[in-house]
Chains A and B, each alone.
Chain A
């Protein structure tokens, strides 16, 4: 069994600050991390490695420094990592990202049985790359999984969380799965793991290595265009009232908002 886990390096959005004068992102001091959802996806793959001897390959598309997310994954137990990096990939939207990632997956040996994604990346939050890759690869798609197992019959079973509640689905491989942050916690890297990771060779694949069409990559290959970026109007505080003397007035004010927002009659 060969499993690919797609990992994205993202800014730790909890610490992102906006420069109020220039309206630009202040990247200084903002750490880059592995997208937290992707760590849960990796954990699911590593469990299948333990139980089924699955081979776990990690991929990331990004600038050269994104390599660290691959080494970290190897330190946790992944077998290998591939960095997908090329100037031509810059500015890719989800269409162009899915295209390039799916091409990288097709290039892997042996053929890939399962591809795991995080449910979404915490920077873009689109949740589209997993479904997009499933389409390019012509693999079936399972979204919002907490856990994935594979039976003796070689079919997968996934526990998923949809709007109505929990659903357990079962089906044949190959499959693309997007993973929630609900399942077992990602394991830590071991010391031995770090030793292995430090010496691991991380191949870099670009336009030529992948044999992708440059016009379909990066900004050029992206159907969507970002026209404008702005900071949402900051909260400044609104009505202030004293509810100590007349709590009923305070309650009335709360009810009015609930009614205006349509959550209460």
Chain B
């Protein structure tokens, strides 16, 4: 970093990108007054997927992004590469190739054994400078959302967060990135016309991973990098599923006044646990003290955008619907054929939840006594 130039004159810019190594790129660019010539689209090529792993285990979203990236790369007629940062990660290459990658760039370094924003940013930016990808996708996970924000600044390019749809204009390999905003009330399509790479984070489960093809040919490249030691120390780490994070959950199993009594919430917890989701409630349940306010869905609760929302005994008041408009699929069970929730449900079942919920649990084989979690 120390040899990064402190000023650049546009006439002398040879596109060496040494300036991108500087962590005060804004200053460098500001000093030169030059904004456009720093990452010429013409020299950038290829689609990259940041394949996030944790302690050697690949995140599912990496495979999903490879499926999406494969499509983009085919349309643009370029290669698809997966980038893995970590330590002792050689085993991760083959599954990534089977999932669609033409190349896997592996950075195996002790400093990358654990995620830290600074080291991850440094490593990925060094690779970007070295290979100049045209498109870079990453999962909108805790890690992806955090350090890609730094990478975008250091690489002097745009980043679109939390995309739910991607397409490409193949003539210029221009990425169309669509994402929700304002609590899912509107969608925006965003482009990065003049800066490269075009960067996007994508919500998990938006794309479906390809069926792995072990016969696919691909190349694994081990990339040697020099990285500074991490500056933070982790003094405690406790694996807890944040069961109260209903806003980010993909599956929300919710109940309302129709549950009739607090004990019935146990059934919801059992279902949620089985499906890997979390329990949400209507305001009525919070008012009765059956559940904590952190679980409330709706206008004065959380706005949620799960893939599947299951509503048991919820009438569907406007204030409740306000929180679930962004749900992909809504399944509602209500004994009242005229309940307004049916107007928004993809599957509306007129019926008694005390019959249907246990039958569903049985069909799923989810009979075990759960730990009922937090209220």
**Contact partner, B343, options A98, A231, A237, Cβ 8 Å:** A237
Shortest B325–chain A CB gap in Å is 7
The digit string for A150-169, where 1 denotes a CB below 8 A from any CB of B, is 00000001000111111111
The digit string for A166-178, where 1 denotes a CB below 8 A from any CB of B, is 1111111000001
The answer on a CB contact under 8 Å between B150 and A162 is no
Interface size of A by CB at 8 A reads 90
Supposing A13-B303, A128-B159 touch, asked if A143 and B117 sit within 8 A by C-beta, the answer is yes
**Contact partner, B153, options A136, A143, A251, Cβ 8 Å:** A136
The answer on a CB contact under 8 Å between B162 and A136 is no
Q: Does A63 contact B (CB under 8 A)?
A: no
The answer on a CB contact under 8 Å between B346 and A244 is no
- Return chain B residues, CB-CB under 8 Å to A130: 149
The segment from B105-113, B211-219, B279-287, B349-357 found at the interface with A is: B349-357
Q: Does B91 contact A (CB under 8 A)?
A: no
User: What residue of chain B has the Cβ atom nearest to residue A231's Cβ?
Assistant: B186
Where the two chains meet, the residues of A that have a C-beta atom closer than 8 Å to any C-beta of B are: 11, 13-18, 25, 93-95, 98-99, 102-103, 122-132, 134-136, 138, 140-144, 157, 161-172, 178, 212-213, 215-216, 221-232, 234-244, 247-248, 250-255, 257-258, 261-264
Secondary structure at the A interface, as helix, strand, loop or mixed, is mixed
- Return chain A residues, CB-CB under 8 Å to B193: 225
User: What residue of chain B has the Cβ atom nearest to residue A265's Cβ?
Assistant: B364
List the 6 shortest-distance A-B pairs measured between CB atoms, nearest first. Answer: A131-B149, A243-B351, A223-B158, A224-B158, A13-B183, A165-B240
Q: Does B308 contact A (CB under 8 A)?
A: yes
The answer on a CB contact under 8 Å between B142 and A231 is no
Supposing A140-B118, A237-B344, A263-B276 touch, asked if A226 and B190 sit within 8 A by C-beta, the answer is yes
**Contact partner, A238, options B182, B299, B345, B364, Cβ 8 Å:** B345
Where the two chains meet, the residues of B that have a C-beta atom closer than 8 Å to any C-beta of A are: 23-26, 29-30, 33, 35, 54, 115, 117-118, 121, 141-143, 145-150, 152-154, 156-162, 176, 180-195, 208, 231-242, 250-251, 275-277, 299-300, 303, 307-308, 310, 322, 325-326, 329-331, 333, 337, 342-352, 355-356, 359-360, 363-364
Shortest A253–chain B CB gap in Å is 6
The answer on a CB contact under 8 Å between A244 and B30 is no
User: What residue of chain B has the Cβ atom nearest to residue A235's Cβ?
Assistant: B344
**Contact partner, A166, options B195, B237, B329, B330, Cβ 8 Å:** B237
**Contact partner, B363, options A122, A128, A240, A251, Cβ 8 Å:** A251
Give the docked Cα–Cα distance between A140 and B160 (Å).
Answer: 22
Count CB-based A-B contacts (< 8 Å).
Answer: 288
Give the docked Cα–Cα distance between A191 and B156 (Å).
Answer: 46
The answer on a CB contact under 8 Å between A247 and B149 is no
Supposing A224-B158, A227-B189, A254-B360 touch, asked if A262 and B208 sit within 8 A by C-beta, the answer is yes
16 extra interchain contacts, Cβ-Cβ under 8 A, other than A98-B153, A102-B26, A223-B152? A13-B303, A94-B152, A103-B26, A126-B159, A135-B153, A170-B234, A171-B233, A212-B30, A224-B159, A226-B190, A238-B345, A241-B350, A242-B349, A251-B356, A255-B360, A258-B308
- Return chain B residues, CB-CB under 8 Å to A257: 308, 329, 331, 346-347
- Return chain B residues, CB-CB under 8 Å to A172: 231
Shortest A224–chain B CB gap in Å is 4
Give the docked Cα–Cα distance between A172 and B231 (Å).
Answer: 8
- Return chain B residues, CB-CB under 8 Å to A250: 333, 349, 351, 356
Give the docked Cα–Cα distance between A164 and B241 (Å).
Answer: 7
- Return chain A residues, CB-CB under 8 Å to B350: 240-244
- Return chain B residues, CB-CB under 8 Å to A223: 152, 156-158, 192, 194-195
Shortest B56–chain A CB gap in Å is 13
